[in-house]
Every structure is written in C-alpha cells, then in structure tokens.
Amino acid sequence: MNTSQRNRLSSRWLNSYERYRYRRLIHSVRLGGAVLFATASARLFHLQHGEWIGMTVFVVLGMLQFQGAIYSKAVERMLGTVIGLGAGLGVLWLNQHYFHDNLLFYLTVGTASALAGWAAVGKTVTSPCWRD
C-alpha cells in the first residue's frame, strides 16, 4: 500500500459521514471483537464463572454505538446501583428495627418498587393517554 492509498483510506475513516454510512458494520465488528476478547480472556485466566464477563460486555456495549453513550450509561448504572444499595439497606434496617416482617414491611417494599419503576420510565413516555 503506497502513501496515497493510505492517505485516502485514513481520510475516509476520519470522515464522520463515511463512518456513519458503515455504522452497523463498525458496531457489529467492535461488539463481536469485544465479546470474543472478554470470553477468551476469561478462559485464558481460568476465571470462575467467566462467562459473565462476555455477557456483561454484550449488555453494556450491545445497544450503544458510540463511546459517549457507553460512558453516560455506565455512570447511570453506577449511580443506580448506589441508590438501590442505599434503599435496600434502608428497607432492611427498617424491617429489622421496626417492621419485623409485618404487613408494613411488604407495603414499604411494594411502594419503593413502584417509585423505582416510575422513576425508571422518566419523562420520555409521552403517550396521548398520559396527557390530561
């Protein structure tokens, strides 16, 4: 490959329109390579339950096509995990000190779950039946 061919290839790769035209191919190759690398690494190092590594890579990268989306989704998941941990520990503490597995405990768990579901949907759902 001579210099002019390399320059032409690199200019096509650096052109965002060209990359957008092949976004499916680029994303599928990147995802397949990442899952393959993760799975092979787990096998190479004989990790116990290493299949989860490949599945995690697939879940995190699967629907996200660019790095910015991956970063923001990772931050959202970490924040959600911390909030869920705090809420779960809080409910368990309340059960141990006040509720003692009575009906109020189950109502609290149900209400907290309903609030989490409400917050997860957010304001992105704008169906006509929700507008009153």
Residue 43 covered by a domain: yes
Q: pLDDT at position 132, please?
A: 43
Residue 132 covered by a domain: no
Q: Are 20 and 59 contained in the same domain?
A: yes
pTM recorded for the entire structure: 0.50
Name, in order, each residue with C-beta under 8 angstroms of 41's C-beta and a sequence gap of 6 or more: 50, 53
Q: Are 38 and 73 contained in the same domain?
A: no
- How many structural domains is the chain composed of? 2
Q: Are 51 and 31 contained in the same domain?
A: yes
Both structure tokens of 74: 């990772």
Q: Are 82 and 58 contained in the same domain?
A: no
Could you tell me which residue, 19 or 86, shows the higher pLDDT?
Answer: 86
Residues above pLDDT 90, as percent of the chain: 15
**How do residues 67-100 score in pLDDT, each as one tens digit?**
666 677 778 888 888 988 898 899 889 989 998 8
Residue type, position 2, single letter = N
> Which structural domain, as residue segments, surrounds residue 114?
66-122
